Homo-oligomer: A and B are copies of this chain.
Amino acid sequence: MESLSQTEENYLKAIFKICENEDKPANTNAIASELQMTAAAISDMLKRLSSKELVHYKRHYGVTLTEHGSQIAKTLIRKHRLWEVFLCDVLNFTWDEVHEMAEQLEHVQSSELIFRLDRFLGRPKFDPHGDPIPDADGNFEMRKQIALSALQENESGVVVGVDEHSSAFLQYLDQMHLGLGVKVKVLEIYKFDNSLKISLGAGKELTISNKVSENLLVQKK
């Protein structure tokens, strides 16, 4: 059970992220773009990950994680999201500030540390961005959520997550008071550009672009 380098861990996470939505193998260019590296570097690493049996790799056919590789990726995601909860809930960082620190903290090696951190935080099920935190076995709690853009006029929902994680978007949401847990109702859909007039919990009205409503996840109410 030789432990992996941070670099190797980042490759597994990238492959997991690409594969988790679509059910097909991750292709080299997608990984290269995710990790901001050249395709050549990816090909190179895939061979090494394959020889360690962390990925199923056949040249020109894309790559998938083995069960072992997948387990490692899920543990990394668990650690990342637990640390984000720690940073927001305990150290009072805002949700747009925590990702880079969590990228580093997730590589700290100690399963006991993560067990205790989880317990200290009260075994949270979701991170500050509404993303589910897998349990110690890698099981995600799935939630029925849809993009706000999928609601019809007069339908309501509660904000439970975001599809886009950039600081710019998160800060925009803060400014508009569109954080997690806020109840929104679609008052009007402007067909021209699919922008929305919505009302927030406190009766305030707001117009948001389609790009915003597509990246804001709500639970229908």
Interface residues of A (CB under 8 A from B): 87, 90-93, 97, 100-101, 104-105, 107-110, 112-113, 116-117, 120
CB atoms of A92 and B116 under 8 A apart: yes
Residues of B within 8 A of A97 (CB): 112
Q: What is the total number of copies of this protein in its complex?
A: 2
Contact, CB under 8 Å: B110 / A101: yes
Given contacts A92-B116, A104-B109, 18 further A-B contacts (CB under 8 A): A87-B113, A90-B120, A91-B113, A91-B116, A91-B120, A93-B112, A93-B116, A97-B112, A100-B110, A101-B108, A101-B110, A101-B113, A104-B107, A104-B108, A104-B110, A105-B105, A105-B108, A108-B108
7 CB < 8 A contacts A-B: A91-B113, A91-B116, A91-B120, A104-B107, A104-B108, A104-B109, A108-B108
Give the complex CA separation of A99 and B97 in angstroms.
28
- In angstroms, Cα B90 to Cα A90, docked, is 11
User: What separation, in Å, do the CA atoms of A189 and B8 have in the docked complex?
Assistant: 57
